[in-house]
Each structure stands twice: as structure tokens, then as C-alpha cells.
Amino acid sequence: MDQNRIRKIRIASWVGIIGNGILAALKVSVGLLSGSMAVVADGIDSASDIVTSLVTLFTADIIAAPPDREHPWGHSRAETIATKLLSFIIFFAGAQLAVSTVGNLLQRAPRELPGRIALAVTGVSIAGKIFLALHKYRIGRETDSSMLKADAMNMRNDIFLSLAVLTGLTAVFLLKQPVIDTVTGLLLSLWIMKSGFDLFMETSLELMDSVEDHSVYRTVFDAADRTPGVINPHRARIRKLNNLYDIDLDIEVEGTISVMEAHRIAQNVEQNIKKAVQNIFDIMVHVEPEGNVEQDEQFGLTREDL
């Protein structure tokens, strides 16, 4: 396990916990004092981001554990599961916000205009979220962490959410209609729920042993075709374990060669694939005699399937 990768994930998680904690406390307190439901909503979203950072921090310890008897493939899937959990947390936060803002909208009690300090704290929030989004996205790319990339996407969404709050508050002051601020809070809740749903769908690919970028299949076939002695590479199955590719591939070789020679060809295929594809977890090359046909072969892709 890459300990440097784990260390970077932990640091990024702590930055998210501390940064979002400060922003959440600031926005919720100022939103309540100024009477802005949209700012309170934005603060609740930042509070949920503390939970997401805690999830990434806890998951970093899990994926750092070595393989064991119960988990011979290691613990990398924990990161995908954690990312799936983040999608539920994000969606639930948006749903809770929608319920509270709809209730506020239906109230017949007179609403007061939010204080101007709400504008200032929203500006501070935008600056803080930009920093957190850029930091998590940079570390996410360096470590190829689906969790941090998802969290960075969530931070990016928060920037647009805060901009929407700022626009709503500005409209409130210009048009003297406090209800605009509440409607803005409702729109924010819908945005949060959409972000959670999109993240849920993205993580489903990996949990279903699929890959988003199918060009990696062509790269694997090309690497096998470049290997002397390889005939008809087929039945490729590629999945991701966290940031690593697990690759299975069938090849045919001349039926009269020795087992030692067939083994050497398979090793060369592995080396060529590793040169062409970064972040390899494991490669399994199955060798068959030329022209072999197995009727029960149902799984895997050929070049024609692409």
C-alpha cells in the first residue's frame, strides 16, 4: 500500500474538517442573526461537508490495512464504498434543507430582510470554498482518489451554491422581497440533492466491476498485439480497485510450443500492459492453444465489442 498516498488523503481530510467547521459555524451563526435562511442553508451544507471529510479520514485508515484472510484482494474497495456513502450524506442534507425551506416558505408570518452582514459572510464562504475545492482536487488528482475527487466536486458545487446565495441576497436588498431569499434556499437544496444523486451513479460503475473509460481496453489489446507469439487476445475483463486496474485477459499461442515458452509469452504480455497502463493492481493472462473454442465463455470483451 502506498503510504505516501494515504498520508496525503489524511492531510486533505483534516484540512476539510477544519476549514468546513470554521465556515459552517460562521455561516449558521451569521445567518440566524441576520435572518437569512439561505445563509443558514449554506452553513448546513458546510456542516455536512465536515461529515464527508470525517468519512474520508476514517476510510484512509481502512484502505491502508494490508490484505488478510477475509480480504485477500486488500481493502481498496472501502474507498468506493465510502464515496457511495458520501452521495447519501449529500443527498440527505439536501432533502432536509428542502423540507425546512418549504416549511419556511409556507409560513404566513411576516419575514424580515436579512442583514447586510449576510452578504459579507457569503463572500468569505466563497473564498474559503474555492481554497478547499482546489486543495482537495489537487490532492485527489495526485493520489487518484475517488473520494477526494468527489469531495472536491462537492466543494465546487458549494462555490456555485454560495454564489446563488449571494445573488439571492442581492435581489432581496434591491427588490425588498425577503421571500426571494427563502426561494433561493429551496433551489440550493435541489442542487445539493442532484449532486448526491450524480455521485451515487458514478460510484455504481466501480462497484459493478466496470470502468468509465473504455479506451483502456484498446490499450490492453494493443499491448498484447505488440507481443511476439500472441494470437487473438480476447475475453478482456477490466475493473478498478480504488485507483488501480485489475486486468484479466485470454490469449492464444501456437499449440505446439512448450509450457515454458507459453509462460514467457504471457509474462511479456504483462510487462507490455504495465508499460502502457499506469496504476496496475494485478494482471492475469490465461493462455490457450490457437483456435481453442470454449462454448461456455460468456464474460469479457473482444476488440470487436468496443
CATH code, domain carrying 134? 1.20.1510.10
Using CA atoms, how far residue 68 sits from 71, 247, 298, in Å, is 5, 21, 30
Asked if residues 166 and 126 have their Cβ atoms less than 8 Å apart, the reply is yes
Domain interval for residue 256: 215-305
Hunting for cell 466501480 — which residue is that? 206
Domain shared by 51 and 94, yes or no = yes
What's the rounded mean pLDDT across residues 105-130? 68
The CA dihedral of 275, 72, 284, 258, to the nearest 10 degrees, is 120
CATH code, domain carrying 228? 3.30.70.1350
Domain shared by 124 and 233, yes or no = no
Domain shared by 84 and 170, yes or no = yes
Domain shared by 221 and 95, yes or no = no
Residue at a domain's end among 207, 223, 245: 207
Q: What is the pLDDT of residue 161?
A: 67
Domain shared by 232 and 83, yes or no = no
pLDDT tens readout for residues 206-225: 788 888 888 999 999 999 99
pLDDT tens readout for residues 186-207: 777 788 888 888 888 878 877 8
Alpha helix positions (H), the chain: 3-34, 37-63, 77-106, 117-143, 146-175, 179-207, 215-225, 259-276
Higher pLDDT, 118 or 75: 75
Give the angle subtended at the CA of 196 by the CAs of 36 and 278, to the nearest 5°.
Answer: 130
Q: What is the pLDDT of residue 109?
A: 47
In total, how many domains does the chain have?
2
At 22 the three-state DSSP class reads helix
Domain shared by 173 and 239, yes or no = no
Backbone angles phi, psi at 262, to 5 degrees: -65, -40
Chain mean position to CA 170:
33
